[in-house]
Structure 1
């Protein structure tokens, strides 16, 4: 791995899937080590603060986590979709999904627009700092009245000479408060078909007319900063257009494939961590004179959940492999998002139940994990939308 620092043999993780190479497994061991030593000991404080400290994100950049799929010329490692899945799954296993989504929005939901649609000049200007964790990205598509319905956005960008002027508002924007670079979707031609009216623009923090209206107080993902953004006569250079005018909808749809695979992998990591945590608990917690593990109903429920998680994991891996092979995988990726978003919530519900009263306490890890998981069936494409995508392809 060009930019990925290696760990010693003691961090090795047994290879468990034919989808992954030794390089993938070395990355898995590295991310798992980082989670244990640099996330878990400190992340409760980040939950209270409402954001992940910049030095932590820069450390992730130094380790190569932010450049996994990008070219070496910008500091990347030139790996594939399966490597992204490794990162997302292991960050999901951290039990701190707010940290995971902070990193994954930067790597796989926002910066990809800079790389995929950016000009040579834009890439050279921004990509090195993005990969190094010095410039944190956000993607601003969702609005108060437009989530999965991207065509319904109302933010506009009008051309005036050598500038575009943005007006509108964005909602639920991860990395919105402390981000540096925003990929903003806006309509540039209100007379065009909805799919041909959207463009994407780069807006830097501090641009006049752009402000963070408020930081949002969330049910879960507490350590990820989330914001409402406002653009009022925000003037940016015309060169800040990403790609071609009117092609933004297609760029967003293209990257939804990547985003949904990543969210699925993250959900599987969360579900596995919850099962592991609950197994430890039921083997030591006694009720009616014996460990809970001795109750057949509990053992069998956990066994079935483990089977479902393994099935979901293999679907994630297969969809990622298809994408890495350049195969059409919209159906499989939509299945991943629908299945894993629902499955992680099924797992969390049962694991909270098996923790009893302790599962309802804020001091309990499983309580935080259950809150974090709830959004997995909403963000990145609600389950209902994903099932319609699958149904179209049956």
Structure 2
């Protein structure tokens, strides 16, 4: 069941939480509440109506990128310093989640956060700058192609080749799970040159979708297996061989933060619907809300969502203030929120009883399917925990003081 209206949380509560993200907005930015209302209206009018056909046809709508780009949303997101305006990135992602955009929202996020961040951060040639301009204007759809058949999380093992051909380069290989691969005008391809991994901007002419994956959820994301065979100019080599992995990590950080924000937005939609259902639905002569077990279950879920959102806002505000960008922090947020997403949508669907398991009765079944990808996209749970664990530092002095040896 798909509607084109965004969920509306309690206005007073929304205003209070927006204070937490205001610090991440640029000094000359409009207030966060104004910006949120702006993107909410834009999504409701221009993008939400695209959901039914996109889900039915398993097609990513280029119109979504065009609508946001032409409205200046992408330019606003990447205005300012090295990280652009992270406050805008979070609010936009949240509102796409609240609108139940699913694969459309994730595709926009991959275009804006993963691909555009790499173009903006490493593009120093006229070719890259032209592609960046098209991406920000919404005239072109961009994606990032990293995974391969035998290469999942270990990106250092990519086999897609980058070889010199005179004054040009040849890129050859096959990428798996590329989103939104079939709709992309440009793919930022992680490949292997003589000195190690590199990233090359490959135009649509060199990209051939060879399989459209029939994914369980995120059906409008249009995830494909992509054959890459292109001869590109030297200007198209965005990141030189040997530096590709470090650059890809930067794009992944932005992708993970945006993914966490979009999941939290979707959880607002799910929880508001479930809470409202508890107060409207009567059984045995009284609303379901009168049953302590049900309302306490929702209180628990609401509390977890609140704490996760405050954690995301605090991290983004710290990064925006110059506190540094931590891959470990982004990984911790992403994995925690993704796992929370599965639990919340499952419980909210359960609150609706049989209707929660039927596609054309509530959006809960689709949200449940869609949010599973959060535990895989941008890195699996296990990879995220490895990044977190890599940041552990022992305190031997403290240990000696407290533990008998």
What TM-score, normalized to structure 1?
Answer: 0.89
Q: Deviation above 4 Å: which 4+ runs of structure 1? A: none
Give the 3 Å change call, closer, same or farther, for CA 327–58 of structure 1 in structure 2.
same
User: Which of 111, 114, 120 does residue 109 from structure 1 map onto?
Assistant: 114
Q: Does 1:331 align with 2:339?
A: no
Measured in 1, the distance between the counterparts of 2:62 and 2:340 equals 32
**Root mean square deviation of aligned Cα:** 2.1
- Shift in Å, 1:259: 1.3
- Shift in Å, 1:120: 4.0
- Shift in Å, 1:40: 3.1
Measured in 1, the distance between the counterparts of 2:386 and 2:227 equals 32
User: Which of 166, 171, 177 does residue 176 from structure 2 map onto?
Assistant: 171
Partner of 1:346: 343
- Shift in Å, 1:285: 1.9
Contact 1:96 1:369 in 2 (8 A): no
Measured in 2, the distance between the counterparts of 1:166 and 1:124 equals 20
Give the 3 Å change call, closer, same or farther, for CA 55–302 of structure 1 in structure 2.
same
Contact 1:114 1:127 in 2 (8 A): yes
Aligned 1:11-50 pairs, distance under 5 A: 14-16=15-17, 17-20=19-22, 22-50=30-58
User: Which of 283, 286, 301 does residue 287 from structure 1 map onto?
Assistant: 283
- Shift in Å, 1:128: 2.2
* 1:269-318 CA distance string (max 9 Å, x none): 11111101111222222222222111110100000100000000011111
* 1:136-169 CA distance string (max 9 Å, x none): 1010111122222211211111112112112211
Measured in 1, the distance between the counterparts of 2:168 and 2:84 equals 37
- Shift in Å, 1:15: 4.9
- Shift in Å, 1:246: 1.8
* 1:7-43 CA distance string (max 9 Å, x none): xxxx996353243154333221111112333333441
Give the 3 Å change call, closer, same or farther, for CA 124–79 of structure 1 in structure 2.
closer
Measured in 2, the distance between the counterparts of 1:125 and 1:255 equals 19
Give the 3 Å change call, closer, same or farther, for CA 68–146 of structure 1 in structure 2.
farther
Contact 1:200 1:242 in 2 (8 A): yes
Q: Which runs of 5+ in 2 are unaligned?
A: 1-10, 393-405
Measured in 1, the distance between the counterparts of 2:222 and 2:156 equals 26
What TM-score, normalized to structure 2?
Answer: 0.86
Aligned length: 371
Give the 3 Å change call, closer, same or farther, for CA 382–240 of structure 1 in structure 2.
same
Contact 2:20 2:310 in 1 (8 A): no
Q: Does 1:373 align with 2:371?
A: yes
Where 1:19 maps in the other structure, the secondary structure is helix
Partner of 1:185: 190
Measured in 2, the distance between the counterparts of 1:123 and 1:239 equals 7
Measured in 2, the distance between the counterparts of 1:169 and 1:115 equals 25
Partner of 2:211: 214
Q: Does 1:139 align with 2:144?
A: yes
Q: Which runs of 5+ in 1 are unaligned?
A: 1-10
Partner of 1:229: 226
Where 2:77 maps in the other structure, the secondary structure is coil
108-117 vs 54-63, which moves further:
54-63
* 1:213-238 CA distance string (max 9 Å, x none): 12221111111121110124x32222
